[in-house]
Structure 1
Amino acid sequence: MKAIWKNTILAESDETTVVENNHYFPAESIKKKYFTHSNTHTRCPWKGRASYYNIKVAGEENKDAAWYYPEVSKLATPI
């Protein structure tokens, strides 16, 4: 599985986890040079608090385009 934006591979892994039709990539598969931390946070009742990344490729930014769960709840341990 590849995550691509603006013809640029942002992440690539054969071991993503699918939850609610979203693919979660292992942290080590992310090309971090394209990701910057966002100040956005949301809360899912069963996954916990999500933090977001902005993605920047070739001078173009996609705000809050990727998210992760730094401390995932026990119900969502696979991600």
Structure 2
Amino acid sequence: MVKATWNGDVIADSDNTVEVEGNHYFPRDDVKMDRLVPSDTKSHCPWKGEASYYSIKADGITNADAAWTYEEPKQAASEIKGHIAFWKGVEVG
């Protein structure tokens, strides 16, 4: 079981993560989506495509753009479609 924890709150836990470039991508169904707030931030990866970001809210504190997803990944990264990854102080393990 892999967990993503921030500010003492478990944001996601799953037995079905996909690891890409050292990041665990959690299936959306295993993420507490009520802790995530969509962000306007976007980024681009040459082989994965365009990433969209979420901020995490836990215990009244916001961690801006601490989660990301590829809604329509390129074919080479199709396994992470519908998955969310974390960074910026989120403990994953």
TM range (shorter): over 0.9
Q: TM-score scaled to structure 2, two decimals? A: 0.83
Counterpart of 2:76?
Answer: 75
Match of 1:58 in 2: 59
CA RMSD of aligned residues (A): 0.5
Whole-Å separation in 2 of the counterparts to 1:3 and 1:12 = 6
AA in 1 matched with 2:19: V
Which consecutive unaligned segments of at least 5 residues does structure 1 have?
Answer: none
Give 1:3's aligned residue: 4
Specify the SS of the correspondent of 1:77: helix
Matched, 1:24 2:25: yes
Paired position in structure 2 for 1:49: 50
Q: RCO (CA 8 Å, sep 6+): is it higher in 1 or 2? A: 2
Q: State how many pairs are aligned.
A: 79
Could you list the runs of 4 or more consecutive aligned residues of structure 1 that deviate by over 6 angstroms after TM superposition? none
Secondary structure at 1:28's aligned position in 2? helix
Gaps of 5+ in 2: 81-93
Percent of aligned positions that are identical: 48
Query: How far apart are the structure 2 equivalents of 1:77 and 1:54?
Result: 24
TM-score (norm 1): 0.98
Q: Look up the equivalent residue of 1:78 and give its one-letter code.
A: E
After superposition, the C-alpha distances for 1:29-58 in whole angstroms (9 at most, x for unaligned) are 010110000000000000000000000111
- For residues 41 and 29 of structure 1, the distance between their equivalents in structure 2, rounded to whole angstroms, comes to 23
